[in-house]
Structure 1
Amino acid sequence: MAMGSLGELAYRYVTGRPLDGRDGYPYLRPGAGRWSGWKRQAYRLGTPALAALTVVEPHQGIGVAATAGAVAAWSGRRQMTRRRFRRAYIDPTLTAIRTPLGLETGVTLHVDPGLGNLTPRLATPLSPAELAARQWYGQRIEPVLRWLPDRTQRCAWAVQRWVRPATTKLDVFRRPGTEQIGPHIELTAQTPYLTQEQRALVSSIINSKIPVSDLVESWNQVGAQVKARWTVRKRPPGDVGYDHVIARIDSLAEWEFYIGEAAGGRPYTISLKDDSPHIAVSAGSGAGKSVLAQLIAVQVLRRGGRVIILDRKGSHRWALGVDGVDYCTKPHQMHAALIREAEDADVRNDLALHEADDWDPGERTLVICEELNATIGQLTNYWAEVREKSDPKKSPAVTALAELLFMGRAAKKNVLAIAQMLTARAIGGPEARENFGVRCLARYTVNAWKMLVPEAAMPKSSRTLGRWQVVIGGVATEVQVAYLNTMQARALAKPADGPDSALSSDVPEDRDMLTLRDASDAGVIPWGYEAAKKRLQRNVGAVPAPRGKKGNADLYTRGDLVTWAESGKTSVG
């Protein structure tokens, strides 16, 4: 395009517009060019002014020139870093996206350098001299430069804490701002629609070309443009325990159960009234299936309910001797318990027909079926051994379990089925499995996910112990399930309206529980294991009381053992 008159050229020079007559370059943003309008304007006006000042006032001009040079060097270094970042990530990704979409100039891509370790990947190794210089600068210069900004920031934080009582009361008048999405990748395509295949291709390219793992993808195709955004998945806290549980459970309704913490530390609960009366738990070995079942069971017991545990391998030692728990470890015990509960559920359902919708049939019963794949086989084998010729071929206990699954909500009979692979055959058919509206998965395989929750998108399986995906209504929520040790579980299992039911945070942790041999090996008690056993048998000194079991050995609290050791009695050889 022709330049135009001298006046127009002068106008473009002073205002920071391109001198070649092109338009479309914004003043505050770079736009199609490298520089925004205000930067171009500052460069054009500042350079002659600095040159004139250097001629008229050399001393001032040299100082200003030195400052301007330092700023230019800093800005140039930033520009070089951004250019390297763009060459490494943005330009190749745009080329890979534009070509298959047929949009050579209609796609823009924004990638935050703060994502993952994208910027550190571009760093070149430092030479020994550079490393020594940076170390000297960090020890000698940087503390001096940061002293005043650090003190200023601390003063600002102190003022914020001081005025917080007043400012929090003003929150009701504050309008909500825009969502803080943090570092993200954002793509804009100048087309009104992209097909599912095209979106999948773009997603594949983004995940392949930009090395940041576990991103959450969202698409917006409303309007003349298609916009896509990839954000870092928010994670639940890494550790949830007894303190979290005691802060939550007594404020919930009778049919609501606290599971753990979701992303951002948000408490996560399930409802056996609204979500589903039955819970399916599928996970690999050691993923914490029994921990999840224990957490729900102690809440049932605390509210005055009953818990029936079908457990052949003894995974719930915390429940031994606990009031309200029927612990079945033998096939004949499981057989009788299931038939009894199905008959009771049938009676409750008959009564519910003649009562109001909010009629309470009585205490809640939770049936925990550990390792259901093996349990069904044991019940079937047991029935094959004891049945008479006139008895039905199918195990009545297996039939009773299926009946519980179909009529549990009104009768307040809930089943928690646990299995490594919860197949339809294990639960009594695909119809019975459909009664599990709450499905919890951890350390799952692709096959297990597609079998149990094919309607939900499968996130990457986490290796964090206690990290579960809870799927309700086709929506998967990542939850860190709360962990309770044996003493904590037994403390929570006491009915809330009974004696000694008040919750406190001083229940011993696992590290405070020791067997007699462990205490001797760790030096908590000054005697050998055999000598300590004799002292215990003869009640020498302030003998500690057992607080739990570890296999066949009694567990004692560290504090009780220390008191015993300090009781000053003579050792028995």
Structure 2
Amino acid sequence: MTDGNTSIWGLLYRYASGQPLNGSGGYRYLSPGAGRWPGWKRQAYRLGLPALTLLTAVRPRDGLALLALAVILIGWRGRRTMAQRRFHREYIAPTLEAIRTPLGLALGVKLHVDPSLGNLTPRLAKPLSPAEVATRRWYGEHVEPVLRWTPERAQRGLWAVQLWVRPATSKLEVFRRPGEQVGPRIELNIKTPYLTSEQRLLISSIINSKIPVADLVESWNQVGVEVMARWIVRKRPPASCGYAQVLEHIDRLKEWEFYLGQGVGDKPIILSLQDDSPHIAISAGTGAGKSVLAQLLAAQVLRRGGRVIILDRKGSHRWALGMPGVDYCTKPHQMHDALVKHAGVADQRNDDALHEEEGWDPGPRVLVICEELNATIGQLVNYWAEVREKSDPKKSPAVAALADLLFMGRSAKYNVIAIAQMLTARAIGGPEARENFGVRLLARYTTNAWKMLVPEAAMPRSSRTRGRWQLVVGGVATEVQVAFLTAAEVRALAQPAESPDSALSSDVTSNGNKMTLRQASDNGVIPWGYDAAKMRLHRKDEAAPKPCGKDGKAFLYDRAELERWASSGKR
């Protein structure tokens, strides 16, 4: 025979090189290609078995030892192959069939499913008999330690070498291009250039039904000649966050920035009341931690010298009792008076801002916390119905004041936190008022609550982890583990930060009625913030007080002159 495909030499070459003996194409050496095995694996079996047989015949002891090792390896590989086939039979094959049938694609659909996802592999496990349990226990106690001794020592040696060369290899990190870190995933490749939204929705439904893995994040890529879909496990924030993390971040933030907790990858989540929104809506079920979240923000306001107004009929903020800078209102008449008063202050600040330069500081920030707003609005309405005279307006002035704060809070540095289990438009004074809440936080939410408050954002699965919230800003939901603080930690955190020229806990210094400009601003002697007051002094204001001493590097001013300066500025 002289034909290269049918000659004895051609058969020997194909046998030794791992190619199919019939000479058919499509079979690759490194990957399976058209065959079930890659070429290198067929080559290893074809050359290894005769060599092992010959060695056994020439040197029986060595041959039997290698034969025993080969039997162990083949048994281990066979067991693994059987597990892979069962996994393919239970999950991949039925899913591919369900996808191909409606799409009309006989070929060109590839599906990859990581066995480590969820509990896919444990679901396939069958109960063990007592004999199997005993055998596995004996194997784990006597055989596995022997088999793992050499690989473990080799791995430890490799780790030692890596640690030794780390000072040199760390300098090469700058030249390394970061690769895509995907991790366990479900990946679907379809040889078609485009799929409609209905087809993608159908495929997503099939994947979620046939492969029982919960809380997956789905992404589609239709660029190119193939469509690729990927489902990965949603990454989660840390399970807890506390006082140490809060202290680590809050003093680094700007005056209008607030620390909420830790997000995915243990990254701090920062909320801006200047860039994002002046007002915050909090909606969550009972026990989700609404008051914990509110007191975290309140403590940061107090730490920076601001004021906090709490409308709390049920008494959830006992930490605030007796705290400087806090107006704790638990009765309807107290809530009514506080809202009317501060709406007037905010209105005055807005009027003053009209005559000031851009960026003028109206004074310390004021945070208004409205606990259980659904019930609070009703109590304010009932209170006004009891006390109003015939000449008084029918609408509660407190409810109107709350609406005014929502519409003019940014320039006046007034911020409202509205807390409710179901923050309906009626509870907040209408849909127009609710639109002022650019920052919305939800936990233990229902589908109805999510669609009502943030219909523009995709709804993630609600978590039962305590303190786990969804922060929604601009239609984007960010998962965050909110920091939990005890009452003692909140009170400690709320103490104003130390500054070189101020003693914020007192109205005057040890110099009698003399105080620094910062002390006058923080204690309300002058209506402007510290920076705004310094700008007024630099303008050579005729009514500005003259320094009468020094406290360290800071000038001292007479309190009476400061008050006259403040009254002239208001006029």
Please, what TM-score do these two structures have when normalized by structure 2?
Answer: 0.83
Contact 1:298 1:489 in 2 (8 A): yes
Q: Which residue of 2 aligns with 1:93?
A: 95
**Length, aligned pairs only:** 499
Gaps of at least 5 residues in structure 2 are 505-571
Report the equivalent of 1:26: 28
CA distance in 2, matches of 1:145, 1:5: 45
Given the alignment of the two structures, is residue 69 of structure 1 paired with residue 71 of structure 2, yes or no? yes
Give, in whole Å, the separation in 2 of the partners of 1:57 and 1:162: 43
Letter in 1 for 2:428: I
CA distance in 2, matches of 1:359, 1:18: 83
- How many angstroms apart in 1 are the aligned matches of 2:266 and 2:329? 36
Match of 1:327 in 2: 328
Report how far residue 139 of structure 1 moved. 2.5
Question: In the aligned structure 2, how far is the partner of 1:242 from the partner of 1:32?
Answer: 60
Aligned counterpart, 1:462 = 463
Q: CA RMSD in A?
A: 2.3
Q: Return the alpha-carbon distance in structure 2 between the equivalents of residues 349 and 236 of structure 1.
A: 40
Q: 1:225 to 1:392 in 2, by over 3 A?
A: same
Q: Distance in 1 between matches of 2:66 and 2:141?
A: 29
Q: Does 1:211 align with 2:218?
A: no
For residues 398-429 of structure 1, the C-alpha deviation after alignment (integer angstroms, 9 at most, x for no partner) is 11111111121121111110000000111111
Q: Structure 1 vs Structure 2: percent identity of aligned residues? A: 72
Bigger shift: residues 454-463 or 154-163: 154-163
1:490 shift after superposition? 0.4
Spell out, residue by residue over 1:153-189, the C-alpha distance to the aligned partner (whole angstroms, 9 max, x if none).
Answer: 4565566566666665654x24242122211110011
* Structure 1 residue identity aligned to 2:281: A
Q: Write the mapping of 1:11-160 to structure 2, written as runs, cut at 5 A.
A: 11-151=13-153, 153-154=155-156, 157=159
Number of the residue aligned with 2:253: 252
Deviations for 1:459-486, whole angstroms, at most 9, x for unmatched residues?
1111111111111111111111110011
Residues 161 and 346 of structure 1, relative CA distance in 2, 3 Å threshold: farther
Partner of 1:449: 450
Measured against aligned partners, the alpha-carbon deviations of 1:301-345 in whole angstroms (never above 9, x if no partner) come to 111111100111100001111111111111111112112222222
1:55 deviation in Å? Answer: 4.0
Distance of 1:162 and 1:325 partners within structure 2 = 57
1:76-123 per-residue CA deviation (whole Å, 9 max, x = no partner) reads: 111111111100110011101110111111211000111112112222
- Distance apart, 1:46 and its partner CA: 2.4
Provide Cα deviations, 1:341-374, integer angstroms capped at 9, x if missing partner. 2222222222323333332222111110000111
Report how far residue 447 of structure 1 moved: 0.4
In the TM superposition, 1:220-235 aligns within 5 A as 220-235=221-236
Distance 1:20 1:152, change over 3 A: closer
- CA deviations over 1:499-552 (Å, ceiling 9, x no partner): 999xxxxxxxxxxxxxxxxxxxxxxxxxxxxxxxxxxxxxxxxxxxxxxxxxxx
**Aligned residue in 2 for 1:305:** 306
Aligned partner of 1:268 in structure 2 is: 269
What amino acid maps onto 2:207 in structure 1? I
Aligned to 2:418: 417
What's the offset of the Cα at 1:24?
3.3
Structure 1 CA distance, aligned partners of 2:199 and 2:224? 18
Task: Summarize the Cα distance change of 1:64–1:345 in structure 2 as closer, same or farther, 3 Å threshold.
Answer: same
SS at match of 2:247: helix
Which secondary structure does the structure 2 equivalent of 1:376 belong to?
Answer: helix
Q: Is the 8 A contact 1:112 1:183 kept in 2?
A: yes
- Other-structure match for 1:515: none
Partner-residue secondary structure (3-state), 2:395: coil
| Native 8 Å contact 1:268 1:479 kept in 2 | yes
Match of 1:345 in 2: 346
Taking a change above 3 Å as real, the CA distance of residues 253 and 169 of structure 1, as seen in their structure-2 partners, is farther
Residues of 1 paired with 2:267 and 2:10: CA distance? 60
| Larger Rg over CA atoms | 2
**TM-score normalised by structure 1 residue count:** 0.82
CA distance in 1: counterparts of 2:161 and 2:4, whole angstroms? 57
Contact 1:3 1:20 in 2 (8 A): no
- Residues of 2 paired with 1:381 and 1:489: CA distance? 33
Offset, 1:22: 4.0
What are the Cα deviations for residues 262-283 of structure 1, in whole angstroms up to 9, with x where unaligned? Answer: 1221111111111111110000
